[in-house]
Amino acid sequence: MATQSTYSPNKIQPICQCNSKGRENHTVVADMDETLLIHRSSFPYFALVAFDVGGILRLLLLLLASPLAWFLHNFVSQSAGLKVLIFVTFAGVKVSDIESAANAILPKHYSEDLHPETWRVLSSCARKYVVTMSPRIMVEPFLKKYLGVDLVLGTEIMSWKGIAMGFVAGSGVLVGKEKGVALVKAFESSSSVPDIGIGGRGTDISFMNLCKEKYIVPWKPGIRPVKPDELPNPVIFHDGRLVQTPTPFVTLLIILWFPIAVPLSIVRVFLGSLCSVSQFYYIVQLLGCQIKVKGTPPPNPVRHPQQKGFAIVCSHRNVLDPLFVSAVLRHRPTTCVTYSVSKFTEFVAIVRTCRLTRDRSKDAKLIRDILEQGRDLVVCPEGTTCREPYLLRFSSLFAELTDRILPVAVSLKVSMFHGSTVRGHKWLDIFFFLMNPSPVYEITFLDMLSPEQTCSSGKSSYEVANNVQEMIAKALKFKCTNLTRKDKYRMLAGTDGLVREKPGARSS
């Protein structure tokens, strides 16, 4: 690539004047901070990593250090402020843990902060390059996996024997002239130069002058980010415990609430575990958990010796889904089948639970025996939870074993903490869910399937399962997918999710 002095800067225009049509063979280089992303602070993304790798104490340290980082960023240098955030977040942490958080947690929050004009241009070009002062280890998984970026040039961090030291490596933070230097190195073996350069501040001129066209992204309040489902690869699966993007104010609220949330969740768990299912419905609401019921629950059964139970087929949002559905049914005897949950969850469960083996013939016999006993079976055929408005592929086993099928649409709302995890401790799922100030369960009972909608009419079990999935998705206004439990675990943890027999480390 030609040196920086070869190209005299042309007029820099606002991004709205960039024509995105006919760019199929063009190369674009965009800054990430304040350009590809709308918000100007990188604190929230460091906070997400800090809480994941170090818990509430590291998050507190990061919040206490943020005023110093802000002062250095604004009155000394951008690099000095960023070095403070990097040190507090990364020092002493396994590099593999940082990579895991960047892959499983940050894409969700980055995807909700994309600038629509920058993305319009970036997505129209064949070759995409991003330069950023943020640590490359944090941003690269999102940019490559979800936006199709070809190359990411960012700040590198120092490590020793797989442990991050909290310092930056190489030439330091990639800011100002360093961005131009990094871009020259990236293109040194190429005879061409980038067609489009997009920046968000004056310090981006160093790399923008290497491009044929230069555009600036002016900051304006009230910009609406790109809708996540408009991305080429929408973020369907994500991990981490924090619900909201932790701005400094949100982080302060989380830290202040945490000492209250922990004892509150313990009280909720153990009071709930000491009552009956019918009492649980009232007690849990007295403790601040709301239950909203829509549709008409089936009436209390008048059992006959030969009458089989219902298969109550639910969408899966949390490990407590079967319990809350059973609590709404109250006087109907129910059994919940699970693929694998923590032993603690089974211990505190106040409804009968049966563990499936993932051996189809054995599981079929187990389910058939439960139904023939006249007990209703609460089953979540997705096999795992999904936080986003999507339904995973339904297992068809339930449709093979009964024609008495009742679809139930389950959704929940939480404000601070997610009650599910792929990479964390499964036994804490219940506690984190109940650490929310006022979690809301919404349970919608749909119409029972008619004989014409079941296998008794000649339909295959897959057709029945797909139909139930579509019914529940329509009620929730979700989208159906063919994704499975294995897809989720491979994407977030790099495993098939089949955790071996280890106490407290079972997959959901």
Q: What is the 3-state secondary structure (H, E, C) of 26-89?
A: CEEEEEHHHHHECCCCCHHHHHHHHHHHHHHHHHHHHHHHHHHHHHHHHHCCHHHHHHHHHHHH
Q: In this predicted model, what pLDDT tens digit does every residue of 347-360 receive, in sequence order?
A: 778 888 888 777 78
> Are residues 109 and 44 in contact, defined by beta-carbon separation less than 8 angstroms?
yes
432 phi and psi angles, rounded to 5 deg: -65, -40
The pLDDT, as a whole number, for residue 352 is: 84
Least confident of 7-16, 19-28, 104-113: 7-16
28 phi and psi angles, rounded to 5 deg: -125, 140
3-state secondary structure of 22: coil
What spatial distance separates the first Cα and last Cα of the chain, rounded to whole Å? 51
3-state secondary structure of 338: strand
Q: 58 pLDDT exceeds 90?
A: yes
The pLDDT confidence band at residue 369, using thresholds 50, 70 and 90, is confident
Q: 1 pLDDT exceeds 70?
A: no
Identity (one letter) of the amino acid at 44? P
Q: In this predicted model, what pLDDT tens digit does every residue of 414-455 receive, in sequence order?
A: 999 999 999 989 899 999 999 999 999 999 999 999 999 999
Q: 200 pLDDT exceeds 90?
A: no
The pLDDT, as a whole number, for residue 302 is: 59
Residues 6+ apart with CB under 8 A from 259: none
Beta-carbon count within 10 A of 371 CB: 20
Least confident of 13-27, 31-45, 201-215: 201-215
The C-alpha atoms of residue 389 and residue 391 are separated, in whole angstroms, by 7
3-state secondary structure of 359: coil
The pLDDT confidence band at residue 262, using thresholds 50, 70 and 90, is very high
Beta-carbon count within 10 A of 282 CB: 13
> Are residues 438 and 288 in contact, defined by beta-carbon separation less than 8 angstroms?
yes
The pLDDT confidence band at residue 301, using thresholds 50, 70 and 90, is low
Taking alpha carbons only, the member of 90, 70, 234 closest to residue 156 is: 90
Instruction: Say how far residue 253 (Cα) sits from the centre of its chain.
Output: 21
Q: In this predicted model, what pLDDT tens digit does every residue of 32-47 receive, in sequence order?
A: 988 999 988 999 999 9
Beta-carbon count within 10 A of 329 CB: 26
Tokens of 74: 């604004």
Which has more confidence, 468 or 8?
468
The pLDDT, as a whole number, for residue 100 is: 97
The C-alpha atoms of residue 283 and residue 289 are separated, in whole angstroms, by 9
Query: Which one-letter DSSP state was computed for residue 309?
Result: P
The pLDDT, as a whole number, for residue 362 is: 84
Structural domain spans, the chain: 4-230, 275-295+307-492
What is the average per-residue pLDDT within 64-81?
94
Which has more confidence, 185 or 497?
185
Predicted model pTM: 0.92
The C-alpha atoms of residue 352 and residue 231 are separated, in whole angstroms, by 42
What is the average per-residue pLDDT within 105-129?
95
What is the average per-residue pLDDT within 286-315?
84
Percentage of the chain lying above the pLDDT 90 cut? 70
The pLDDT, as a whole number, for residue 497 is: 59
The pLDDT, as a whole number, for residue 501 is: 44
Helix (H) or strand (E) holding 461, with range, is helix 461-476
Q: 68 pLDDT exceeds 50?
A: yes
**Residue reference for tokens 């940019």:** 143
Beta-carbon count within 10 A of 144 CB: 15
The pLDDT, as a whole number, for residue 202 is: 74
Residues 6+ apart with CB under 8 A from 453: 405, 459, 464, 467
The pLDDT, as a whole number, for residue 63 is: 98
Q: 296 pLDDT exceeds 70?
A: yes
DSSP string, 225-263: PPPGGGSSS-------SB-S---HHHHHHHHHHHHHHHH
The pLDDT confidence band at residue 317, using thresholds 50, 70 and 90, is very high
What is the average per-residue pLDDT within 103-120?
96
> Are residues 93 and 285 in contact, defined by beta-carbon separation less than 8 angstroms?
no
The pLDDT confidence band at residue 305, using thresholds 50, 70 and 90, is low
The C-alpha atoms of residue 270 and residue 280 are separated, in whole angstroms, by 11
The pLDDT, as a whole number, for residue 499 is: 47
Q: In this predicted model, what pLDDT tens digit does every residue of 477-492 receive, in sequence order?
A: 999 999 999 999 999 9
What is the average per-residue pLDDT within 249-270?
97
The pLDDT, as a whole number, for residue 310 is: 87
- For the domain 4-230, what is the CATH code? 3.40.50.1000
